[in-house]
Chain A
Amino acid sequence: MIVVLGLSHRTAPIHVRERLAAGPDALPRVLACISGRRELDESMFLSTCNRVEVVASVRGGLAGMDDARRAIREELARQGGVTSGDELIPYMYEKLGDEAVDHLFRVTASLDSMVLGEPQILGQVKDAYDAAIAAGTLNGVLARCVSRAFSVAKRVRTETAIGAGTVGIASVAVGLAQRIFGDLGGRTVLLLGAGEMAEASARGLGKGARSVRICNRSFDRGAALASEMQAAAVPWHELPQELAVADVVVASTASPTYVVTCDMVRRAMKERKGRTLLFIDIAVPRNVDPAVHAIDNVYAFNVDDLQGEVARGLKARHAEVEAAERIVADEVSGFLTWRRGLEVQPTVVAMRAKARAVLFSELERSLGGRLKHLGETDRAALSQMLESAIGKLFHAPTARLKARAAEGDDAAELAAAMRFLFDLQELPSPRDDESAEASDENERLPN
C-alpha cells in the first residue's frame, strides 16, 4: 500500500516547513534513515520550499499502516530536530492507497502548488526520484507510480494551459520587457537595490540580457549579489550616468522617496538619443517618479500595473484546473487498474506453475514407463501439447481474474478461492513477481 505523509504550505507555516526541509546534500542521509525502517518497503523523500513529504509503500499493507505512520513521523521529527513525531501531527496530512496516488499525481502536475501550474515542482519531484533510485530505496510499484506521475504532469501541461501566462511579479516583469524590446539580447538591465525581488528579476531578465548592472546604496551588498549573478556592481552616485546606458531598469530599493526623478530621466533620454527606456518599479513606496511615464519613449510600470497581469495569468490557469483534474483522475484510474491486476498476478503465476508441475510430472512418469519407446521428436511434441493445453485451460480464469481485479471488485476473494481450490500455498514474492511481469506491465500500463 502506498502512503504519503507530509506537510505543505496548506497545512504548516514556513517556520515548521523550513525545519523539516532537506537540501540536496542532506537528502541521501535522510533517505538512508527512512529506508532503514523495516516498516517501509520503498520510500522517497520530497523536500521543496513549500512541501516536505515522505512517499512510501507500507510493508504488510493496511495492517502495517500504524507502524509505518509512526516510523515516518519519527524520521521526520529526527530530520527537523523535533523531540517527538507527535508534535508534527497538527501540521501533517496523510494520504493512503488510491488517495496517495492521486495526491502524488496532483503534486507533480503542479495542481497542489502555491503558484498553480508552476513548472519547478516537476523538476523537484524528479530530483527526489533520482535520489531515491540512486539510494536504492525505490525499485518496485512505488517507483512505477512516481515515474507515471511524470507522464501525468507532462500530459497535463501539454493538454491544458495550466502553465500558460505569467503569475509572478518577476516573471511578469520579464514578459513586459520582452514585449517592449522583443529580444533582450544586446540589452542592458540595471537593478536598483539588491534585495530578494531584485535578485528574482535579475535571474529572469539576466538570462537573455547582454549585461546586468546592480546599483545599490550599499556597494558591498550590491557587489555580493553581482558576483552571484555574474553582473557588474556600480556605485550609487553613478545612477544618472547608468540611466543613459540601461534599457530596462528594475527598481526595488527601500527608499521612502523617489530615487529616479523626471529631470534625471529627461537628461538621460537626451544622452540616449531617444532610445526606449523601461522602468519596472516593484518597490513600495515607489522608487521611480510616475511622471516619467509621460516622457516620449519612456515607460514606467509599478507593482499595481503588473498585479493585473498576475491576476490575469492566475485566472487563466484556474480555468484549466477542471480539465487538469480530469486528466489526473483518468491517469489514477489507469494506474490503479494496473496495480490491482498486479495484486492477483502471484496467484495466476502460482496456479499456472502448479498445473505445469503436476502435468509435467505425470508426463515424465509416463515417458519413463509405458511411453518410453517414444523418440525425442514425439517427446517434444507431447511437451508442446501440454504447454498449449495449460495456456488454453488457464486463459479464461486468468483473464477473468485480472478483469475483476481491474474493476476493483472481489478479486482478492477470488484469488483466495483459487489458492484454496488449487492448494497454492507458496506464492512468489511480490517483488519477484513484479520483475517477472515487467514486460507485461509495460504493455498494459499506457505510456
Chain B
Amino acid sequence: MTLQLANILFAATVAVYLGASVLFAVPLLSSDGSASRASVGGRWAPRLLSLGVPLHAAHIIVWSIVLHVCPVEGIHFALSVGSMFACAAYLLVRRRYRIDAVGAFVAPQALAFLLASRFVGGVDEEPRLRSALLPFHVVSNLLGIALFTLAFAAAVAYLLQNNHLKHKSLEAIERLPPIEALDRAEHRFLVAAFPLLTIGVLTGTIWAREVEAGGPADIARAALSYACWAFIGAVLLLRAAAGWRGRRAALGTIFGFGLTLLVLVAYLIRSVMGAGGTGGHA
C-alpha cells in the first residue's frame, strides 16, 4: 500500500514537473515572446511547479518510509531533496528577483534529479557511519546545492539573453528576464550558496577525519570537492575585486556547477559500485 502510494506520488510529481517544464519552455521557444509571456503557459507554469513541490516532498517522505532510510541520507535522496529545495527557493524569489523565465531551467533540472534519484543506482538502505556532524553536513550541502542550482539556471539564462542582445535580436530578449536581473539573481544565489557549501566542506573534512576515510578514491573525491568550493569562491572574489560580472561571472558559475555535478557523480558512482566509506554523502 505504502509502496503503491510512493509510486503514485512519484508518477504525479514527474508528470507535474514535466508539464511545468513544457509550459516554461513554450514562451521561450515561441516566435512572439511578448505575446507568449502573458500566455497560458507563462501563467500556469509556476503554478504547476508550486504543485510539484509538495507532491515531491510527499513522495520523498513516503519513499523513505518504504525504504526505511532517512530522506537526507544517501546521495540519491540528497539529489531529490536538493532539487525540491531549488524549486521551492525559485518559487519564493521569482517575483522578487523578476526571474520567472528561469523556471524553464529549474523545472527540467528538478525532473532530471528526481528521475536520477529513483532510477540511477541503488539507495544505501542503512547508513554505515553516523556522526553528530551528519545533519549539518547534509543539510548545508543540500541547501547550498539547491541555491547553486538556481545560480546555474540564472547564469544559463544570462548567457542566452546576452547572446540575444549581442545579436540585437530585440524580439527575442522579451522572452527572458532583464539581463541585469539575471546577473543580480545569479550573484545573490551564489553568495547565499557559498557559506552553506563552506559549512558542507568543513563538516565533511572533519567527518572524514573522524571516520578515518583515507583511501585514494576518498582523497580524489575530497580534492574535487575542495576544488569546486575554491572555484566558486574565486568567482565571487573576482566579481568583487576585478569586476568580473555578467558573461564572465555566468561562465564561472556554469563551470563551477559542472564541477559540483562531477562531485555528485563521483559519489553517485561510488554508491552504485557499492564502495565502502562514508555512506554516500556529497
Interface residues of chain A, those whose CB is within 8 Å of chain B, are 164-165, 176, 178-182, 269-270, 272-276, 293-294, 296-297, 299, 301, 305-306, 308-309, 312
Partner among B168, B174, B181, B244 whose Cβ is within 8 Å of the Cβ of A274: B244
What residues of B have a CB within 8 angstroms of the CB of A272 in the complex?
243
CB <8 Å contact, B183 and A276: yes
Contact A180 B170 (CB under 8 A): no
Known: A274-B248, A305-B170. 15 other contacts (CB 8 A): A165-B34, A178-B178, A180-B173, A180-B179, A180-B180, A181-B178, A273-B242, A273-B243, A274-B243, A275-B245, A276-B179, A276-B183, A293-B166, A301-B168, A308-B170
Q: Residues of B contacting A181 with CB < 8 Å? A: 178, 180
Residue of B nearest to A178 (CB): B178
Chain B residues in 8 Å Cβ range of A269: 243
Chain A residues closer than 8 Å to B244, beta-carbon distance: 274
B98 at the interface (CB under 8 A from A): yes
* Partner of A273 from B166, B171, B180, B245 at Cβ < 8 Å: B245
Main secondary structure of the interface of A (DSSP, over half): helix
Q: Write the nearest CB–CB distance from A141 to chain B, whole angstroms.
A: 40
In the complex, how many angstroms separate the beta carbon of A266 from the nearest chain B beta carbon? 12
Our pick among A165, A299, A308, A309 for the contact of B165 (Cβ within 8 Å) is: A299
- Across-interface contacts of A312 in B (CB, < 8 A): 170-171
CB of B168 within 8 A of CB of A305, answer yes
Interface mask (B158-173 → A, CB under 8 Å = 1, otherwise 0): 0000000110101101
- Nearest A residue to B176, CB-CB: A179
- Point out the residues of chain B lying under 8 angstroms from A274, CB to CB: 243-246, 248
| Chain A residues within an 8 Å CB radius of B174 | 179
Q: Please give, as numbers and ranges, the residues of chain A lying within 8 Å of B34 by CB-CB distance.
A: 164-165
Among residues 191 to 224 in chain B, which have CB atoms less than 8 Å away from a CB atom of chain A? none
Contacts of A276 in B (CB 8 A): 179-180, 183, 245-246
| B94 at interface by CB-CB < 8 Å | no
Q: A194 to B264, alpha carbons, bound, how many Å? A: 58
Any chain A CB within 8 A of the CB of B177? yes
Residues of chain B with a CB closer than 8 A to A301's CB: 168
Q: Within 8 Å CB of B178, what residues of A?
A: 178-182
| Shortest CB distance A273–B (Å) | 3
Of the A-B pairs whose beta carbons lie under 8 Å apart in the complex, a sample of 20, sorted by A's number, is A164-B34, A180-B173, A180-B179, A180-B180, A182-B98, A182-B177, A182-B178, A270-B243, A275-B243, A275-B245, A276-B246, A293-B166, A297-B246, A297-B247, A299-B165, A301-B168, A305-B168, A309-B170, A312-B170, A312-B171
Contact call A297/B181, Cβ cutoff below 8 A: no
Top 4 A-B residue pairs of the complex, sorted by shortest distance between their CB atoms: A273-B243, A274-B243, A182-B178, A274-B245
Q: Which residue of B lies closest to A308 (CB)?
A: B170
Select B170's contact among A176, A273, A293, A294, beta carbons within 8 Å: A176
Nearest CB of A to B80, in Å:
33
Q: How far is the CB of A184 from chain B (nearest CB, A)?
A: 10
Cα distance A272–B179 in the bound complex, in angstroms = 17
Given contacts A296-B248, A305-B170, A312-B171, contact A180 B243 (CB under 8 A): no
Cβ contacts under 8 Å, A305 to chain B: 168, 170
Q: Which residues of A contact B165 (CB under 8 A)?
A: 180, 299
Complex CA distance for A308 and B181, rounded to whole angstroms: 25
Which chain A residues lie closer than 8 Å to B170 at the CB level? Answer: 176, 179, 305-306, 308-309, 312
Q: How far is the CA of A178 from the CA of B248 in the complex (A)?
A: 23
- Chain B residues positioned under 8 Å from A182 (CB to CB): 98, 177-178, 180-181
Bound-state CA distance A273–B248 (Å) is: 12
Please give, as numbers and ranges, the residues of chain A lying within 8 Å of B242 by CB-CB distance.
Answer: 273
Q: Taking CB as reference atom, which chain B residue is nearest A175?
A: B170
Which residues from B are CB-within-8-Å of A180? 165, 173, 178-180
A305 to B171, CA, bound (A): 11
CA distance A168 to B171 in the complex (A): 16
Interfacial chain A residues near B183, Cβ < 8 Å: 276
Expressed in whole angstroms, the Cα–Cα distance for A297 and B245 within the complex equals 8
Which residues on B sit within 8 Å (CB–CB) of A306?
Answer: 170
CB distance from A215 to the nearest CB of B (A): 23
User: How far apart are the CA atoms of A179 and B34 in the complex, in Å?
Assistant: 11
Residues of chain B within 8 A of A179, CB atoms compared: 170, 173-174, 178
Tell me the complex Cα distance, A176–B170, Å. 8
In the bound complex, residues from chain B placing their C-beta under 8 Å from that of A309 are 170-171
Q: Which residue of B lies closest to A273 (CB)?
A: B243
Q: Report Cα–Cα, A270/B245, bound state, in Å.
A: 11
